[in-house]
Structure 1
Amino acid sequence: MLTLNRIRACVCASVLGAGGVLTAGLHQRKNSWSLSDKNVYDWSSEEEEPDGRARPIQVLLVKDDHTFELDEAALSRILLAEEVRDREVVAVSVAGAFRKGKSFLMDFMLRYMYKQASEDWLGDNEEPLTGFSWRGGSERETTGIQIWSEVFLVDKPDGRKVAVLLMDTQGTFDSQSTLRDSATVFALSTMISSMQVYNISQNVQEDDLQHLQLFTEYGRLAMEETFLKPFQSLIFLVRDWSFPYEFPYGQEGGMKFLEKRLKNQHEELQNVRKHIHSCFTNISCFLMPHPGLKVATNPNFDGRIVEIDGDFLNNLKVLVPWLLSPRNIDVKEINGSKITCRGLLEYFKAYIKIYQGEELPHPKSMLQATAEANNLAAVAAAKDLYNKKMEDVCGGDRPFLAPNELQARHGAIREEALQVFRGVKKMGGEEFSRRYLQQLESEIDEVFVQYIKHNDSKNIFHAARTPATLFVVIFVMYVAAGITGFVGVDIIASLCNMILGLALITLCTWAYIRYSGEYRELGAVIDQVAGALWDQQRSVFPYVLCQIPYILLFLPSLTHPQGSTNEVREHVQCKYL
C-alpha cells in the first residue's frame, strides 16, 4: 500500500511538461520576426549569441542519468540584463503531456509579442512558424525548460512597465523520461510561473486532475504557513475540442465546461477541485478546435497559416491576446510580494536545489526553499543598495576619505541596508529570517573591509608605507652593523648586514611587482609584513636604538678575553653614554 501511494505521488507530481506539436515535421525558413534561420538552437552559457538574435535558451538540463542541472550563467544573462533586472516579471509557461502542441502554441505567442501593436499579428499566410523548436511526429522534441532569450517589456494599463518571460517545458510521460523527470519539470514550471497554461488534449480526464493533486496538496500545506494561495493563474487549454455543440469554443464555453466537469465528480473526487481552488488564485479554461488534417498528417508542414484550419485560426486570434494582452497578464507574486527578474533568478536557484536529490521532496521542503529564496532576494536587494551608496561615497572616481568619516558613512548606510531587508515581506517568520539578517551583516562588514583597502590605496602616504618601512629597516640595520662591527662583535654585524641585504632585495622586488603587475600575491605578503612593522616601528625601533649602547656593554664578554673587557666597556661608555 505504501509503495502504491508513493507511485501515485510521483505520478501526481509529473503533471505538466512541454514538448513538440501534434503536427508534422518542419521545413524552416527565415521570417521577419523569428530572428533566426532555424528552429532548433544549441546555445549555452559558455558561448555568446553569435548574431545577436533571440532564440530559446536551455536553462534546465536533464542529463542522461536523469539528474538536473541549472545553467545559471545563461539564466543570469537573461534575467539580469540591465533593462529588465529590476522590472516586475510576468512568467508564462505552457505545460502538459508530450506531443500535444505546446511548442507550436508558444511560437504563436512569440509572434504576438513581436507584433502585438498590429491587429494582423498572425502575419503572412505563407510565413513559416519559427521560434521554439517544434515538429510533427511521435517522438519528443523539447527537454527540460527553455526560456526565450528576449524578455519583452510591456506597459500595463496603470502605466507600469513589466517584463514578460516565455517558458517552454518538457512534456510529461514520454518514453525517455522517468516519472521523477516529469514531476520535477512540472513542479518547477508551476512554482516559477505566474501564468501556467495546462495544455490538455480533447477533454479534461480524471487523471489530468489527479496529476495536479500533489501540487495542490503542497499548496494546502503552504497555506497553513502563509495564509495565501501559493500559485497564481491556472489556464486549462483543451486542444482538439470535438463537442462545440455542447460547449462552444473559447473562454466562455470553457468556463461552463470546466465548472460542470468539476461539479459532476464523485464526492471522493471533490477534494481535487477544492485543492485546486485553494492553491490557485485564478482558474480559467479555453476550448480550442483541431488545427486540421493538413497539420496533423503532412510531414512537411512548417507552420504556414494557409494550411491551418480556419476555425483554429479564428480562435487562436482570441486565445493569444486573451492570455498576453497587457490588461490580462499577471505579475509574479510570492507571499503577496511582487517579484522582479532579479528575484526570480534567486527563486529558480533555490527551487532547483530541492530536486537535485534522489527523491521527490516533501512539500514542506518546497516551502522552506521558497522562504530561503525570499530571504536571499531581500539580502541581495539590501546589498545592492549598500554597494550603490558606498560607491557614491568612496568609489573608484571619488577622492580619498578620512577613515573616521568613512566609518561614520558606512554605519549610516549599513543601517539603511538592514532596514531595507527588514522592510521586505519574507516567508518563514522572524526566527527563520534572523540568520539571513546575520548573513547580511557579515557580508556587509566583509565588503566594508574591501572599501577600506580601496580608500587607503588612494592615500599617497599609505601607498608609500611599504618602501618607507623597508628604508627604515635598512637604515637601522646599517647603523647596528656599523656599531657592532666597530666594537668587534662580528657575528651580530654579519647578521645585521644579512637583514640589510634581504630588506634591500625585498625593496627592489616590491618595486618590480608594483611596476610590472606580476607576482601580485608576493606583493601582498610584502605589504602585509611592512604594514605590521609600520604599526610597531614608532615604538620598537627608537627603543632598540636607545638600548644598543647598553647592549654593547655586555657584548665584549662574548668576544674578548676577560682582561680586555673593562677597556672596551670604558670605551663604549665614553663614546655612547
Structure 2
Amino acid sequence: MASRSAIIKRSFKSVSIRAKNSNGQDAIRIFKIDTKTGKMILYEDQLELLKNDKFKDYKVCVISVNGSYRTGKSFLLNFFLHCLRKKCQSEQEWMDVGDTLTHGFLWEKSPQRVTDGILIYPEIFLTKTKEGEKIAIILMDTQGTSDHQTSYAECTKIFALSALISSVHIYNIQNKLDLEQLGVLQLFAGFGAMFSDSKKKPFQDLHILVRDWVNFEEYDYGFDGGKKLLSFTFKAHQQSNLSEIQKTIRDTFQKVQCFLMPKPGSKVEAREFKGDFNDIKEKFRDHVKTFVENILTPENLVPKKIDNKFVTLGELLGFINGYWKCINEKDELCIESIYMATANIFLQHLVNGKVEEYKKRLGSCTDRTQANNEKSEILKEFEKAREMKLGTKKIRGSFKQQLVELLDALCNEFHTILEHEDELGSEYIEQVRECTTLEQAEEIKNRILKKFQKMVKNFNYLKGTQKVSKQRLTRLLDTVYTDFLTLFGHVNELKMEYIEHVKECITLKQISKAKETILEKFQDKTKNTVCNEQLQDRFKQRLTKLLDKMCKKFYTLFDLMNQLIEEYTKALKKCRTLEQAQEMMSGILGEFQEKGENIDCGKELLDHFKRRLNAPLDNGYNDFRILFNHVNQRKEEYSKHVEECTTLKQAGTEKKRIVETFEAENLNCDNELRDHFKQRLNVLLDKVYDNFCLYFNHVNQLKNKYSECVKQYRTLEEAQAERQRILVTFEEENLNDEKELKDHFKKRLNASLDKVYNDFCILFHHVNQLIEEYSERVKEFRTLEEAEGEWQRILKTVEENLYFETELRDHFKQRLDEGLGEMTIRLSPYHCQYNATGLG
C-alpha cells in the first residue's frame, strides 16, 4: 500500500495563488480586535486572493488552529505549510532531517503573545482528489486565548469566527484534557438544533490536539491514545458539566478526534532555535508528520460545508463578511444571531446565485419572451431551494422580493439591450450596404461594437453580462458581415467572370448577353443561401449597377477598338512606305492606351483589348506589307520588261498582263485593301508606261531628227558632232524623275544614233568608193550606153543592199546618182553631145 506521503505527493500540483501586496513569506492579518470598541476589524483588501475567477469554483478547505496563547499554534501551522510547500514542489519526503522548518507563521519563545487577531497564509494551495474533486487549501492562525490582555468576549469572537470559517478546526490545548479547556466549545451548544428541518451537524471536523503530553505510559501518543483519553474523559464526567459539553461537541461537530503530541524537545524551547529538524526530537517529528498528513491527504481533506452545502472559494468571502457583521452587531454572541447570520448569508448567496444563473441564461436568450420565461423559471427554482427553509418567513420574503426586483431590473436591461442590438444591427445593415470594401465593413462593425459598449456601460445589473451581450451582438454583426463577405465574394467573382466573358465577345450584343447571364448566376448563387434579404437585394442592385457601368465602359472600349481598326485600315491606304504603316500602327496603339486609361476599365481588361486590337492591326500591317511588296515587285517587273519593248503596243500589252496576273494571284489579303493596291498598281504601271511613252517618243524623235540631219552632212565629222550634241542635249533634259528609265533610253538613243551614224559611215564610204570606181571605169567607156549601163548597175547594187534604212539608203542612192551623173558629164570626151541629149 502506498504511504500517505506518496499519496499527498501524487495529488498536489505546483499551483498557488498569492495575495497582492504580500511578500509571499509571512502570514497576513485579516481580522483584529479594536481594543477601544471591542469590535472586530476586517482587512478585506487582504482577501483579494479569494476573488480569483479562475479558481472560484474550487471547493475550499480552511484549516484553523485555536487555543490558549503560547501553546505552539503558529509553530504547528508551519509544519502544515512546510508539507504543502514541499508537495507543491513534488518532493516525496517533506521532513528530511537536514531540512529547516518553513517560517510562514511567526513564532518565538516569549511570555507575550505573538499572533494578533486572525491571520491566513497569503498562498492558496490547490489539489485534486483521485475522483477529480478540486479543492483549495487555506491555512488560518488565531490569536491565543487567556492572555490576560484580551477579554473573554473578545476571545470568544475570535474563536467563533475561526470555527465558523474553517472546515477543519484544531483546538490546541496544553498537557491535559479537562473541563476548563473544553468549556469554550459550549458556546456553540444548541446551534445544530436551530436547523430544525435538518439532521446535519453545522460544523465539520474538530481535532483536539493535546500538546506536550506526558502520560504516554497510560495513553500513548497519536490518534489511538487520544481516542482513548477523550472517551475516558467524557465517561468519567457523565454527571458533571462536562457531560453537557460532550453533548454539545458531539451534536455540533460531524467528526471529533483527539491527538496526543509529545514534546518537541528542549532545543526547540530555547531562544536559539531556528527551525532545524535536527534540533527537533525524532518522536515529535514522527507524530507531527502523522498528524499533518492525516489532515492533508486529499482523500481526508474536509471541504467547507454549511447545512450540507459545499462552499466554494468564490463564496467564502461572503460568509466571512456575513459572520463578521453578525459578530460585531451583538454585544454578546448567541447561537440565534449566528444562525440568523448564516441564514442571511445562505439566502443572500441563493439570491446572488440565482441572479448569476439568470444572467447566464439571458446569454442564451434571443427575445423578450425567452427572458420572461427564464425569469419565471428562476423564481420557481428559488421557491423550491433548500435554503428557503432557513430563517424566518419575513426574512425569506424580503430576499424573495430582493430577487424579484433584481430579476426585473435584469430583464428590463436585457430588453433595452435587445432594443440596442436590433437598432445597431439594422444600423449596421444599412451602413454595410454601402460598403465597397471588406475593410470598410470591418471598420463599421468595430465602430458599432464600440457604440454598443458606450450604450450599456452604465447598466447597473448587467455589467457582468455585457460581455455576453457584446458577444451576441458580435454574432449578429458577424452574421451580417459573413453575409456581406459572401455576397461581396459573389459580386467580385461574377465581376471577374463577366470580364472573362467580355474578353471572348466580338459584338456588342454578346457583351449585353454576358451581363444578363451573370445576373442570372447571381440569382442562382443566392437563392439557396440564408442571407439577409436587404443585403442580398442591395448587392443585386450593386451588381446590376456595376455590370451596367462595366458594360458601358466595355461598349466604349469596344467602339474605340473598332474605330481605331477602321481608322488604321483607312490610314494604310495613304501610307507609301512600310515604315509609315508601322509608325501608324504604333500611334494607333498609343492612342488606344491613352484613351483606354481614361475609360477606367482596369489594367487587365485594357491590356487584353490592346492585345486584341494589336491582332487586326498586325493583320492589316501584314496585308499592307504583302500587297506593298507585291505591287512594288510587279512595278519593278514591269519596269524591267518595258525596257525590252520596242513599241508602245508591246508596253501596253505587258502592262495589261501584269494587272491580270495581280488579279489572278491568291494573296489572302483584305479585299478592300487589295482593291486599293490594284488601283495603286495601275497608277504605278500607268506612270511607268507614260514615262516609257514619253522617252520612247522622244528618243524616236531625236533619232529621226538625227537621221534627217545626217543627210545634209558631207563629212563624217559633221555626223559625229551632231550625234554627240544630241546625246548631250538628251542628258541635260529632265523629262521626269525616272532616272533608270532615262538611262535605259539614253542607251537606246545611243544605239539608235550609233546605227544611223554607222549606216551613214558605211553608205558614205560605199558611195564615195562607187563614185571613185566609176570615175576610173568611166574613162574606158566609148559610148554613152556603156556609161549609162554601168551607172544603172551601180545604182541597182545599192538598192539591193537591204541592211540600211530605206530612207537613208535612198538618200545616198540619190547622192550616188548625182555623183555618178556629175562624174559622167565631167569625164565624158563627148561632153557637148552628152549634154545635148539630156543625159546629165
Provide the C-alpha distance between the structure 2 equivalents of 1:71 and 1:154, rounded to a whole number of angstroms.
27
| 2:311 partner letter | I
Change (3 A) 1:317 1:461: closer
Name which of 368, 378, 393 aligns with 1:407: 368
| Contact 1:389-1:413 within 8 A present in 2 as well | yes
Corresponding residue number in structure 1 for 2:390: 428
Distance 1:54 1:218, change over 3 A: farther
Q: Which residue of the partner structure matches residue 100 of structure 2? A: 127
Whether 2:306 is the aligned partner of 1:339: answer no
The correspondence of residues 173-572 of structure 1 with structure 2, limited to 5 A, is: 173-215=146-188, 217-219=189-191, 221-224=193-196, 226-265=198-237, 267-269=239-241, 270-296=243-269, 298-357=270-329, 359-391=331-363, 393=365, 406-426=367-387, 427-428=389-390, 431=393, 432-458=395-421
Q: What's the CA shift for 1:54?
A: 6.3
User: SS at the partner of 2:61?
Assistant: strand
Distance 1:259 1:439, change over 3 A: same
Deviates more, 1:433-442 or 1:122-131: 122-131
Cα distance change on mapping 1:413 and 1:151 into 2, 3 Å? farther
Alpha-carbon shift at residue 240 of structure 1 (Å): 0.2
Q: Give the superposition deviation at 1:367.
A: 0.9
Instruction: Tell me, in whole angstroms, the C-alpha distance in 2 between the residues paired with 1:103 and 1:171.
Output: 10
Pick from 38, 58, 61 the counterpart of residue 29 of structure 2: 58
Measure, in 2, the Cα distance between the counterparts of 1:125 and 1:310.
Answer: 12
State the shift of 1:134 in Å: 1.9
What is the aligned-residue RMSD (CA, Å)? 2.9
Aligned residue pairs total 412
Residues 157, 333 of structure 2: 8 Å contact kept: no
What is the one-letter code of the residue matched to 1:410?
Answer: A
Partner deviation per Cα, 1:291-329 (whole Å, 9 max, x = no partner): 111111x21322121111111111111110011111212
* CA deviation after TM superposition for structure 1 residue 267, in Å: 0.3
TM-score, length basis structure 2:
0.46
Query: Partners in 1 of 2:71 and 2:141 — Cα distance?
Result: 13
Q: Which residue of the partner structure matches residue 556 of structure 1?
A: none
Q: Which amino acid aligns with 2:299?
A: R
Q: 2:97 touches 2:277 (CA, 8 Å); kept in 1?
A: yes
Contact 2:223 2:259 in 1 (8 A): yes
Residues 417, 150 of structure 1: alpha-carbon distance in 2 compared, 3 angstrom cutoff: farther
How far has the Cα of 1:118 moved from its partner?
3.4
2:267 partner letter = K
The answer (yes or no) to whether the contact 2:62–2:303 under 8 Å persists in 1 is yes
Q: Which residue identity lines up with residue 229 of structure 1 in the other structure? A: K
**2:69 alignment counterpart:** 98
**Structure 1 segments unaligned to the other structure (5+ residues):** 1-32, 36-42, 394-404, 465-513, 522-577
Corresponding position of 1:157: 130
Amino acid at match of 1:177: T
Code of the aligned partner of 1:294: K
Q: Which has the higher contact order (CA 8 A, sep 6+)?
A: 1
Alpha-carbon distance change, 179 to 131 in structure 1, aligned in 2, over 3 angstroms: same
Determine the C-alpha separation between the residues in 2 that align with 1:264 and 1:95: 25
Q: Are the counterparts in 2 of residues 199 and 237 from structure 1 also a CA contact under 8 Å?
A: yes
Q: Distance in 2 between matches of 1:135 and 1:196?
A: 23
2:140 aligned counterpart, secondary structure: strand
* Residues 69-91 of structure 1: CA deviation (Å, up to 9, x unaligned): 2233432x222212321122222
3-state SS, counterpart of residue 209 of structure 2? strand
Paired amino acid for 1:413: E
Within 2, Cα distance between the matches of 1:282 and 1:50? 35
Q: Structure 1 pair 252/450, CA: closer, same or farther in 2 (3 Å)?
A: same
Deviation at 1:105, TM superposition (A): 0.8
Give 1:382 deviation, angstroms: 1.2
In 2, are the aligned partners of 1:129 and 1:302 still within 8 Å (CA)? no
Q: Rg bigger for which structure?
A: 2
Shift of residue 276, structure 1, vs aligned partner:
1.4
In 2, Cα distance between equivalents of 1:350 and 1:58: 18
Change (3 A) 1:338 1:419: farther
* Residue deviations 1:423-453 (CA, integer Å, cap 9, x gap): 5421526834332122111112223333344
Give the superposition deviation at 1:112: 1.3
Q: Which residue of 2 aligns with 1:146?
A: 119
Between the aligned partners of 1:208 and 1:225, the Cα distance in structure 2 is: 32
Cα pair 1:145 1:169 within 8 Å, conserved: yes
How far apart in 2 are the matches of 1:274 and 1:295?
37
Structure 1, residues 238-268: CA drift from partner, whole Å, max 9, x if none?
A: 0000111111111111101111111111502
Task: Report Cα offsets for 1:479-536 as digits up to 9, x if no partner.
Answer: xxxxxxxxxxxxxxxxxxxxxxxxxxxxxxxxxxx9xx9xx99xxxxxxxxxxxxxxx
Q: How big is each residue's C-alpha offset from its partner over 1:395-438, in whole Å with a ceiling of 9 and x where there is no partner?
A: xxxxxxxxxx5322321332343345345421526834332122
Which ranges in structure 2 are unaligned for 5 or more consecutive residues? 1-13, 428-450, 459-840
Name the structure where helix makes up a greater proportion of residues: 2
